[in-house]
Structure 1
């Protein structure tokens, strides 16, 4: 008999505040999922938008002159090197390619109808990404021809893709990858741009968000042997750190009515909460992985890498969630020939904030303050729907 069982019922009306505190521990707590002998496990890293603005192309050109590497005068490697230790550590790493790519020597375009250098794909692969979602409001910026050339370029560098298609037949295929002996499906859906909608006869080229469509895709994935299904969603409102009502409603339906194991969100360009909803982790927006908006807000440079460990149990998959804060360093604007302040950021760089704080070297106090702000603010946004409590969201340590 436990202490809670032994409390006389008649004394309930006379319980004092002190006894209430003492007996609070009698409340039931969720039991840990029962481990499965020989159960499999794997890790997933996922991040937000890869959005190559013209300023980042200019940076890649400057870096190519310094490194002598890259292709056709562009090297995106130095820009993204800061996250390689995290991304390459995952068993499955998922990115979101926001835009179509053009040819290696251009021409390229920025907002509102993006066409970016395909050299970024080589860098994404080198950093450690395995597959990317390609469904976004910019997917059809340059029509079906650009959709096809983008997927062709991804195939050439060995990046998986889902969310757009070159043919009606490809639109029905499911991106299933073998991850440490587990068949993992990756699905992707988005709202469609009003500026460049797909034509009626080519609607198959792009996955539009809809509960029924997502359910059908999951059903196809399961029929093809998927043991785990991960869903990427391009949704919500730009520059809002809280999910919109439609986001919350769709998340509620998907986590109740499907068997999807993880939802990864992007499009807001800022960090939104990670929440365990009806037993399923939902990352509403992981912010930008890498971008350089024409008017940086501070929030648009901050992002998060979501880190999810899947562990097979007797009743299914138990998933734990971690995160790693990122920041795109943006140099201050200066006139040609003007010297930057001592210790100022000189180049656009995607950095792992925790690594910078743990090993600051000779960074100035201003730089360290910026990284601390990113860490604290990102933590606040991620935890804003209760994930740190019993759900266990925490910062990822690379020493684990």
Structure 2
């Protein structure tokens, strides 16, 4: 029996290390509050975000494909934070330089600068050659771009992105925002399958802000996506705090699915202890026959260290890098990490912490 178990273990490890597996990384809400914009301003009048992500760039670049939620329009000057965001273009430039391959734009702040800001965001990202998903300059543009099909190591992925709303701001002009609607989602999934998609990833801006556990609407939508629509990955954001993650087996489809309710904040100036950081989830996907094999899911926490003096910027500090934590930030760092593990991530199902 021990010999059989050893053979099974070696086979599994070989699978995890297989060159045909596609590695994915997802992070949460990439925000820009006014103090962040101020901290990035240089004496020359430009905006420099190069130090923000230095300590996690290796984790981002580990992936064959890395995804973040851009929760602030690139609406042009005057730049502003909450409640009507508009971030400098340099912010998107740095996200791209740090290794992100896709920015999600369907969220409750995408219309903060009305249709002009939404259109400008799309044009700026297009000028950078930065793929984006969730908002579109017209219905025709949406028809051409949805679903987003990406070929990674010979596997065809379909990415979809939806938000619960736009903070009551009307979607005007020709702009299209993908809202959470089951009929629309089902139609997009059917289109993706018809186009040959082998792996379906649905990114959702959902839930209730600052709630550490998913609410019923999240659970029922996730159940529908997994059991009725057969998706492979569900990645959630919006609550600004980390919520549980799980690997769930679908008997109907005969496969495992990664469900992440909320990754929390990627970077922000929020003050509540549970919103002072977020999680990164890493996962690998391979094909076994005609079915996707989603495996190796694990998470990593990071903390947003705010500047202590003029000229210093906001910096993401991964858990375990205590040497980077300033004495005046240590208490908040420790509290954030402990609460995230004890209150939320201890409820994960088969999504362990990365060691």
Fold conserved (TM > 0.5)? Answer: yes
Contact in 2 for aligned 1:34/1:313 (Cα 8 Å): no
- Residue 255 in 1 paired to residue 231 in 2? no
Q: After superposition, where does 1:4-23 map in structure 2 within 5 Å?
A: none
Q: CA deviation at 1:39?
A: 8.0
The 2-side partners of 1:237 and 1:136 are apart by: 13
The residue aligned with 2:84 is 113
Q: Which of 153, 158, 164 in structure 2 is aligned with 1:191?
A: 164
Q: Deviations over 1:14-60 (max 9, x none)?
A: xxxxxxxxxxxxxxxxx979969x88311110000011001101111
Cα distance between partner residues in 2 of 1:194 and 1:386: 30
Moved over 6 A (4+): 31-36
Instruction: Name the structure 2 match of 1:22.
Output: none
Matched, 1:308 2:283: yes
* Distance change in 2, residues 1:35/1:394 (3 Å): closer
1:1-400 alignment runs, 5 A limit: 40-61=20-41, 64-65=42-43, 73-103=46-76, 106-172=77-143, 173=145, 174-199=147-172, 202=174, 205-277=176-248, 278=250, 279-293=256-270, 296-314=271-289, 316-320=291-295, 321-331=297-307, 347-354=313-320, 356-357=321-322, 360=323, 367-368=329-330, 370-387=332-349, 391=350, 393-397=351-355
Q: Residue 109 and residue 371 in structure 1: after superposition, are their counterparts in 2 closer, same or farther (change >3 A)? A: closer
Deviations 1:339-363 (A, max 9, x none): xxxxxx9642122223x14xx27x5
For the 8 Å contact 1:34–1:314, the answer to whether it is kept is no
Q: Structure 1 residues 34, 315: closer, same or farther in 2, change over 3 A?
A: farther
- Structure-2-length-normalised TM-score: 0.86
- The structure-2 alpha-carbon separation of the partners of 1:382 and 1:183, relative to structure 1 and needing over 3 Å to count, comes to farther
Q: Distance in 1 between the 2:53 and 2:127 partners? A: 20
Runs of 5+ consecutive residues of structure 2 not aligned to the other structure: 2-10, 251-255
CA shift for structure 1 position 276? 2.4
In 2: Cα distance, 1:383 partner to 1:256 partner: 24
Larger Rg: 1
CA pair 256-146 structure 1, distance change in 2 beyond 3 A: same
State the number of aligned residues.
336
RMSD (Å) for aligned C-alpha atoms? 2.7
Deviation at 1:331, TM superposition (A): 4.1
Change (3 A) 1:93 1:386: closer
1:260 Cα deviation after fit: 1.4
Distance 2:213 2:111 in 1: 27
What TM-score, normalized to structure 1? 0.77
Query: In the alignment, is the contact (CA less than 8 A) between 1:187 and 1:231 conserved in 2?
Result: yes
Change (3 A) 1:316 1:59: same
Counterpart contact for 1:87–1:127, Cα < 8 Å: yes
